[in-house]
Amino acid sequence: MIQQFFSGLYEFVLGRPMPANFTNDYREVVFPNTGLMLFIISLAMVLLYYYVLNRMMSTGLYKPRHWVIFLVLNAVIAFIIPIAQVNGNEIETHSYTYMFAFVNVIYSLILFFVFSLLLKRGSVQAWTTPMKWPNKK
């Protein structure tokens, strides 16, 4: 189920994995591992920003530029993960690998933004970051 979900998510944008002799490796190992790590790391970065730094520690990192720093850090990690997964599974690095990493970055930006909207209300200082919508009540 997870394999099919993440394989479908990545192959929808990228097409069939290249080189073709590694298609099963991508579908069974690389796509699911990368997708799960993307989800977990993006969620962890949002939780760190809103609940650790701006609730428990009260660091004052509540400005949009601080949020953007975490967004970019999340994107950098999201770029590295697929490359590490491909190399770790002894799959030939190909232009497909770098396109896969780029697509993972796009997904990380979307996830980080969605998680931010869903979880920012619990933050003491950063509940308006990256924007005031939806309003805290």
pLDDT in tens, 103-136: 999 999 999 999 999 998 887 777 777 777 665 5
Asked whether the CA dihedral 79, 83, 89, 91 is positive or negative, the reply is positive
pLDDT in tens, 76-111: 999 999 999 999 999 988 899 999 999 999 999 999
Residue 23 corresponds to which tokens in the numbers above?
A: 């298609």
> In whole angstroms, how far apart are CA 86 and each of 46, 101, 117?
26, 10, 32
What's the predicted TM-score (pTM) here?
Answer: 0.89
The C-alpha atoms of residue 122 and residue 100 are separated, in whole angstroms, by 33
Q: Check pLDDT > 80 for residue 73.
A: yes
Residue 133 DSSP code: P
Average pLDDT along the chain: 90
